[in-house]
Structure 1
Amino acid sequence: MTLSAKWVVVDIEGTLTATSQVHVVLYDYARPRLGPWIEQHADDPVVRDAVREIRELAELPADAGTDRVVAVLHEWMAADRKIAPLKTLQGLIWQRGYADGELVAEFFPDVVPALRGWHAAGLRLAVFSSGSVAGQVAFFSKTTDGDLTGLFEHHFDTVNAGPKRVASSYRAIATALAAEPGDLVFLSDVPAELDAAAEDGWRTVGLARAGEPYADADFGAHRVVDSLALVEIEPA
């Protein structure tokens, strides 16, 4: 499969790294640290705004304590809810974890060679993930293959782009990249995300990796592979 593009935009969970890397390793790391982080960073405007938004979304009293806020966050994590203030707090905690060397990102074997190959060929790379931009940057900064942040020019999340299953989010990304939709390729393991990107005119590639949640999903008309080694993209 050979595609022509200027930008390659990648999802993370299920596409570059195993879902367990997020739902087990990262979630288990963040879960017990949410309360202490909120308490220790109460004067941080980012944390303060996140807590306020959590109370509003969960319809908690404005003075609800940290324990009630954390209980809501744990419920959202258990349901894998892609809610911005949760992702913000997780990202801050993960950022510290990577910086302290307590977390190290691992990828599927085909990922790093593909990313480096596309970058070396002159393709421009970006990320669109539900995880916060801060969390994304931290994730790529400390990996089993070293610091990969230099491969990516832009990072997008549900705050600066929008929901991943809505076409307008991909229009926002294309605008931010000053690119035409036809010059963009999006790689994801979630058919609904690929549908949204295609609706805006993007080229798409589905990742159906064995053992992942969407391995047996119906990807419709989207190109589908089980390894990035099978995706050939040439600079437009």
Structure 2
Amino acid sequence: MSDSEEKSLKHSSNVLDLLEGVEVIVLDIEGTTTPISFVKDILFGYVREHLEEYLEENWEKTECQDDVKALRDQTLLDKDLEGAVAIPEEAPEVSSSSSVRKAVVDNIRWLMAKDRKVTALKQFQGHMWRSGYQEKKVVGELFSDVLPVIKHWASEEKKIYIYSSGSVEAQKLLFGHTEHGSLLKYFSGYFDTKIGAKVEKESYQKIAEEVECDPSKILFLTDVTREATSAHQAGFKTAIVVRDGNAPLTEEEIKSFNQIKSFSELLPEENVPSKKSRKL
């Protein structure tokens, strides 16, 4: 990263300055509001454990077939990737459904192993998680510092949005089924990969247009520096959320990006008496 790029990314000497003039806050989920372990172990684990059972029970439903079609379309884009699993069209033979289902299972497991952020996979996972949340086999998890700060922002009439690679439905399920109950009332909207990849500047430009706010009045919190860079290029204020379990930052990234270890650092001093502002 050049000196000019580093200077342009580090645009606040005090984390509280990040909120100056901010009207909209956009939050990532994994590693930001929610532990990575919840996503990797609980949510992804649920899909791996119940995948075959879910497909067998829901195969004939329109929603499931729409998901399979989206996954099949994605395989056409992935055909040149090593290990990619094709999903054949279902034939009239009785044995066809089981063979196609097996291909879907293998395809989903391959996509998950590669940690692909494609809409077809995220949509399918969201539909599976809906069953898990409804049956209370899955409960949304947040870092303890998140909810009090979200409530404070809402009381100040700041608009709060989620932007995650997980589908909008998956986002609503997570925040709608937490140990604190439904938190959906605090959010003004949700964005997923349908608006664009999180590492592309254009995605954040589209979000600014959707929320009808000047980019300079939007703060984006994420644990991924590539996402923060793209958001900054679109004019957003940005900060990296440093959590236990997140990928460690390099020395260059530490020098180049605003960082917080807790959402409480973005509360005024009078709201957190023991909090000390951290110079970056």
Matches within 5 A, 1:150-189: 150-159=185-194, 161-189=195-223
**Counterpart in the other structure of 2:89:** 62
Q: Does the 8 Å CA contact 2:55/2:101 hold for their aligned counterparts?
A: yes
Q: Does the 8 Å CA contact 2:47/2:128 hold for their aligned counterparts?
A: yes
Q: Does the 8 Å CA contact 1:210/1:226 hold for their aligned counterparts?
A: no
Matched, 1:14 2:31: yes
Residue 170 of structure 1 aligns to which amino acid in structure 2?
Y
Gap change, CA 1:171 and 1:43, over 3 Å in 2: farther
Matched, 1:126 2:153: no
Deviates more, 1:46-55 or 1:89-98: 46-55
Give the Cα–Cα distance (whole angstroms) in 2 for the partners of residues 56 and 142 of structure 1. Answer: 31
Give the Cα–Cα distance (whole angstroms) in 1 for the partners of residues 262 and 249 of structure 2. Answer: 12
* 1:36 CA drift (Å): 3.3
- Which of 120, 145, 157 is the matching residue for 1:85? 120
For normalisation by structure 1, the TM-score amounts to 0.91
Residue 104 of structure 1 aligns to which amino acid in structure 2?
V
* 1:102 CA drift (Å): 1.4
* 1:74 CA drift (Å): 0.7
Q: Which structure would you say has the larger Rg?
A: 2
Matches within 5 A, 1:1-236: 1-2=15-16, 3-4=19-20, 5-59=22-76, 60=86, 61-63=88-90, 65-159=100-194, 161-214=195-248, 218-219=253-254, 221-232=256-267
Per-residue CA deviation, residues 48-81 of structure 1 (Å, 9 max, x unaligned), is 2321232232242333601111111111112221
Give the Cα–Cα distance (whole angstroms) in 2 for the partners of residues 219 and 172 of structure 1. Answer: 28
What is the alpha-carbon root mean square deviation over aligned residues? 1.8
Structure showing the higher helix proportion among its residues: 2
Mark the runs of 5 or more structure 2 residues left unpaired by the alignment.
Answer: 1-14, 77-85, 91-98, 269-280
| % same residue | 31
Q: Does the 8 Å CA contact 1:10/1:128 hold for their aligned counterparts?
A: yes
Gap change, CA 1:46 and 1:171, over 3 Å in 2: farther
For normalisation by structure 2, the TM-score amounts to 0.77
Report how many residues are paired.
Answer: 232
Gap change, CA 1:148 and 1:71, over 3 Å in 2: same
Give the Cα–Cα distance (whole angstroms) in 2 for the partners of residues 219 and 130 of structure 1. Answer: 24
Per-residue CA deviation, residues 196-236 of structure 1 (Å, 9 max, x unaligned), is 10010001011111332245572553311111111248xxx
Q: Secondary structure at the match of 1:65?
A: helix
Structure showing the higher strand proportion among its residues: 1
Give the Cα–Cα distance (whole angstroms) in 1 for the partners of residues 31 and 231 of structure 2. Answer: 17
